Amino acid sequence: MAAPLIVINCKTYSSASGIAAEALAVQMQSVDTSARLVMAASALDIGPVTSAAPDLEVWTQHLDPVGHGSNTGRILPSTAIERGATGTLANHAERKVPLGQVDELLAILPLGFELCACAADPKEAEALAHLAPPMIAVEPPELIGGDISVTTADPSIVSDSVEIVKKIDSGIEVLCGAGVKNGADVAAALDLGASGVLLASGVTKANDPKAVLNDLVSSI
Residues with active-site annotation: 92, 139
Pairwise CA distance, residues 200 & 161, whole Å: 21
**How far is Cα 7 from Cα 20, in angstroms, rounded to an integer?**
17
- Contact (Cβ atoms closer than 8 angstroms) between residue 7 and residue 180: no
Distances (CA, A) of 7 to 60, 66, 73, 162, 167: 11, 25, 25, 18, 24
